[in-house]
Amino acid sequence: MLPIDPDTPATRLAATRDRIARAARLADRPASAVTLVAVSKTHPADAIVPLIAAGQRVFGENRVQEAEEKWPALKEATPDIALHLVGQLQSNKAAQAVALFDAIHALDRPSLADALMRAIDAQGRAPACFVQVNIGAEPQKGGCAIEGVPGLLDHCRALGLPIAGLMCVPPLDVEPAPYFALLAKLARDHGLAGLSMGMSGDYETAVMLGSTHVRVGTALFGAR
């Protein structure tokens, strides 16, 4: 009998799902309340297919152009895949993003909201949108400033843009829990249910603090 390889896409996926479920139980939440977004940026289709075969159906990409190159054929083969844009989005790519993605996690300014709404009106499809918050006030990172969140949400709601929740990337090399807790409070204060927070190194903490979407790459695909 051949030994079981402990490091395959299927085993990594099962281990990640188990850790999400365990964290959810600790927070008295159902595991079904958490969507695992497998971040496949920079990985070729050959690396993605085994995760699809193992049952993963929600994937994340950072760049519109990269997604356009590899995902149409994958989605044609597996139509129930949902594709999320988890990287920064330029306003001039809004129409392409609306056409390809089922959710957009990096809405961070009124001009992008305007561009997305024009594309939604033109195409008749509306991806779920998360407002990205620069939760650590880091100048090198994208995201709306914390104090700008109410105004941006008001702008989006006036347009009729579908806002699913808030998204953040906490600062590196510090305890992420306070930042996740702050994002959760902001979401509650503004009546938003969705929280896109948590990556490979901290998604269990994020789940315990209310995350509804964890964006996991390395833990599923392995180190690049």
Residues 6+ away with beta carbon under 8 Å from 198: 180, 204, 205, 206, 207, 211, 214, 215, 216
pTM of the model: 0.95
Q: What are the extents of the domains in the chain?
A: 9-221
pLDDT per residue as tens digits for the range 88-106 = 999 999 999 999 999 999 9
The stretches in the chain having pLDDT less than 70 are 1-6, 224
Instruction: Assess if CATH 3.10.105.10 describes domain 9-221.
Output: no
Residues 6+ away with beta carbon under 8 Å from 205: 23, 176, 177, 180, 198
Average per-residue pLDDT in the chain?
95
